[in-house]
Amino acid sequence: MLEREARRGAVAAALVAAALVAPAAARPQVTDADEIEYPPLPPFEVPEPTRIALDNGMLLVLVEDHELPLIEAFARIRTGQRLDPSGLAGLAALTGEVMRTGGTERLGGDEIDELLEGRAAFVESAIGVDSGRAAMSCLAEDFGEVLEVFADVLRRPVFDEDKIAVAKNQARAAIARQNDDPQGILFREFAEVLLGADSPYTRPDTYTSIARITRDDLKAFHGRYYHPNSVILGLVGDFDTAAAVEQVRRVFGDWAPGPPGGAFEGGYKTEPTPGVFYVEKNDVTQSSILMGHLGVRKDNPDYYAIQVFNEVLGGGFSSRLFSRVRSRLGLAYSVSGGLGSEWDREGRFQLYTTTKTETTGAAIEALIAEARKISGDEPPTAAEVERAKQAILSSFVFTSDSSSKILGHELDYEYYGYPLDWLERYFAGIREVTLEQVRAIGERYVKAGDFTIVVVGPRGGRDRPLADFGPVTEIDVSIPELEIEAAAASPEMLARGGELVAAAVAAHGGRDSLASFESVRQRATAVAATPAGRLQVEIDQLVVYPDRLRQALTLPQGTMVQVVTPESAFLETPAGRQPLEGDRRRSFAAGLGRTLPVFLRAAVEGTVEAAAVGSGEVGGVPVEYVRLTSGGQSFQIAVEAASGRILELAFRGTDFVGTPGEVRQAYADFREAGGLVLPFSVEATFEGAPYMTSTITEALVDEPVDPALFLPAE
């Protein structure tokens, strides 16, 4: 305890030192800020947190604060999103959330909501990248009752299925919306290029990973990481420490310790990935720009000099970045940067701005120039370093100006294993930083030649080509659709699937015809239910095995042609031609693999996995369902066992405006055409609602194909 008191004394001394100048009589009306003489900062006693370990290993840190009749608790738990098992991205985040919303053994989620909100209290739980967190806040008089809920949430969550469904729904909405905000794309893709796409720090939640996660996974994740010996619990507010400890002991004391968990090392790429990485986004008027490479950990011996360096480069309105890129050049509203650090892994050196498309090159150049200057020919000056040190030291009092901030620091140091006098060391460390130390930082840690530069913005209209700044790689940010899981197929399912597909091959023309056809051209008249109403469409679809697809849709407004071949993919409308890229190319090309002759030919050639997945009815006819997995996609067909006819095809697709959902095509009116047996009537639904009805007017097999059909029109 003596050591502890000395430590707190050091904070007070540091605060006095921060005031720097002796008291003087106030003189009215200076005309220069330097003429003001500041009295010393009043002495300030920083409250001392009390630390108590329970027998089960849970650590309590308490700070009394009687200003208001409120009590708050903050817990850190040794877990994190980076511990998501492979293939289950999103599990930790869902666990953290549903621990609270899904109720406990004693009270359901809705009852907890009512109990808390009726008292204007809250309890929340979440799992972040490198820690689990839980917090509560209540009036002092409700402390006992709310603390019980808080303990139940940490100890006895039941993960109600319906609340899992709500959380999954929100997670899927976040995936659907992940490309709406350009800054969201920018920071996500930068991390992915820098740290690696398969890093536990960047693995994105996907529709597939969210769909895969079950209640058992949530229970197991919670059971593995939530033990009292993995919890640090901080309390701050209007309580008596001894009494509060007793209350905590009552609700947490009988919680049995478990195996320690949550440790994590590495998990990301450490070699740089220089170059320019571009994401096309045409519905914005700016380029968003982020560049840099890995940074440092907070226990780096140069940490204090780095903080001063950061203040000079990007600390606030008078920093180099702000003064030059924003105020002087007017290139940006938002500009920032610095050599970042994390507690238990490297942070990032990064420079960020957003600028109008026409000044993209100018802004990239300005940021690189600042990086080169501060790490080379224009290192921080004596005056800059002095000002930066003064800014950090003078504002030091704000690191401890509330009890909850003091508690928060203590929890951080404890959780990440840093010395508890870190803050005092920080003050002394900054004070002792020399000009030479700060000048050395740029050269040591900033390597402009290694920069990963990510740009998100419109494709056209830039002042300079991106290639001026390094080799350009385009990043496809299209959102992967839900993959239908194939892994679970048993030998029995595969055997029955094989039988059904063999029957279908026989019913649709036989092995010989299917193995030898070269092209199929179908013309159809269709009625589509679009957001704009019912629309008559003429369809002309040409498939050339194995990899060419052309589809022409004629609407009252004109004809729209989509083509995909190994060489190119494009869309032609009366308004002009545009390339089909990324998501749109993939989704159109996937349609080729779902045409009946193509997937049956793949089945004949043995390149498709077929698994029987159940039975049902299509239009009153009994069918068996077969899941086909081929060429990276899965979809389902319904086979009438008696005839071998395929009566339905179902897949995850999109509607006319790109909304993802389930598409079902019901087939009827089978007719022979050039050795194949094809449906001449197709009724499609989207998410159960009528979508398009097509009547095939002509089906031509192996007619001569004009190669020009697959080339752009002149």
Considering the complex, what minimum distance in angstroms separates the CB of residue 273 from another protein? 17
The stretch near another protein (CB under 8 A) out of 149-157, 561-569, 570-578, 598-606 is 570-578
Residue 349: half-sphere exposure toward Cβ, Cα within 13 Å: 31
Binding mask 213-252 for another protein (x = CB under 8 A): ----------------------------------------
The stretch near another protein (CB under 8 A) out of 225-233, 248-256, 276-284, 638-646 is 276-284
Residue 378 as a binder of another protein (CB under 8 A): the answer is no
610 within 8 A of 627, measured Cβ to Cβ: yes
The stretch near another protein (CB under 8 A) out of 317-325, 606-614, 623-631, 694-702 is 317-325
Cis peptide before 546 (omega within 30 of 0): yes
Nearer to another protein (CB atom), residue 83 or residue 167: 167
Question: Residue 676 has which token pair?
Answer: 């194949």
- E-assigned strands of 421-470? 452-457
- Of residues 523, 452, 415, 413, the one with CA closest to residue 191: 452
15 vs 422: CA distance, rounded Å: 15
Nearer to another protein (CB atom), residue 534 or residue 577: 577
Considering the complex, what minimum distance in angstroms separates the CB of residue 171 from another protein? 9
Question: Residue 332 has which token pair?
Answer: 């940006």
The stretch near another protein (CB under 8 A) out of 299-307, 371-379, 386-394, 504-512 is 386-394
Residue 41 as a binder of another protein (CB under 8 A): the answer is yes
The stretch near another protein (CB under 8 A) out of 24-32, 225-233, 532-540, 542-550 is 24-32
* Residue spans of alpha helices (H) in 266-340: 303-314, 320
| Cβ burial 527-563 (10 Å sphere, 16+ → b, else e) | ebbeeeeebebebbbbbbbeebbbbbbeeeeeebbbb
Residue 304 as a binder of another protein (CB under 8 A): the answer is no
Nearer to another protein (CB atom), residue 391 or residue 641: 391
582 within 8 A of 554, measured Cβ to Cβ: no
Residue 9 as a binder of another protein (CB under 8 A): the answer is no
Considering the complex, what minimum distance in angstroms separates the CB of residue 561 from another protein? 15
623 within 8 A of 615, measured Cβ to Cβ: yes
- Total Cβ atoms within 10 A of residue 356: 18
Judged by CB under 8 A, which of 169, 381, 434, 615 binds another protein? 169
Residue 206 as a binder of another protein (CB under 8 A): the answer is no
Binding mask 324-353 for another protein (x = CB under 8 A): x-xxxxxxxxx-------------------
Nearer to another protein (CB atom), residue 339 or residue 393: 393
- Total Cβ atoms within 10 A of residue 690: 13
Residue 690 as a binder of another protein (CB under 8 A): the answer is no
Nearer to another protein (CB atom), residue 381 or residue 578: 578
333 vs 352: CA distance, rounded Å: 11
Residue 687 as a binder of another protein (CB under 8 A): the answer is yes
Which residues are CB-contacts of 15 (< 8 A; sequence separation ≥ 6)?
41, 43, 44, 396, 397
Scanning residues 649 to 678, which ones bind another protein (CB under 8 A)?
Answer: 657-661
Scanning residues 63 to 92, which ones bind another protein (CB under 8 A)?
Answer: 65-70
The stretch near another protein (CB under 8 A) out of 176-184, 254-262, 431-439, 550-558 is 176-184
Residue 96 as a binder of another protein (CB under 8 A): the answer is no
Residue 354 as a binder of another protein (CB under 8 A): the answer is yes
Q: At 350, is the secondary structure helix, strand, or coil?
A: strand
DSSP 677-698: EEEEEEEEEETTEEEEEEEEEE
Residue 117 as a binder of another protein (CB under 8 A): the answer is yes
Judged by CB under 8 A, which of 42, 533, 566, 632 binds another protein? 42
Which residues are CB-contacts of 385 (< 8 A; sequence separation ≥ 6)?
308, 312, 433, 435, 438
Number of residues that bind another protein (CB under 8 A): 110
Phi, psi of 448, rounded to the nearest 5 degrees: -55, -30
Residue 254 as a binder of another protein (CB under 8 A): the answer is no
Residue 397 as a binder of another protein (CB under 8 A): the answer is yes
Considering the complex, what minimum distance in angstroms separates the CB of residue 567 from another protein? 17
Phi, psi of 11, rounded to the nearest 5 degrees: -65, -45
Residue 17 as a binder of another protein (CB under 8 A): the answer is no
Scanning residues 423 to 482, which ones bind another protein (CB under 8 A)?
Answer: 458-462, 465-467, 472, 474
The stretch near another protein (CB under 8 A) out of 40-48, 296-304, 642-650, 670-678 is 40-48
Nearer to another protein (CB atom), residue 31 or residue 86: 31
Q: Is 689 exposed, middle or buried (0-12, 13-18, 19+ CB in 10 A)?
A: exposed
DSSP 351-407: EEEEEEGGGHHHHHHHHHHHHHHHHTTSPPPHHHHHHHHHHHHHTGGGGSSSHHHHH
Residue 568 as a binder of another protein (CB under 8 A): the answer is no
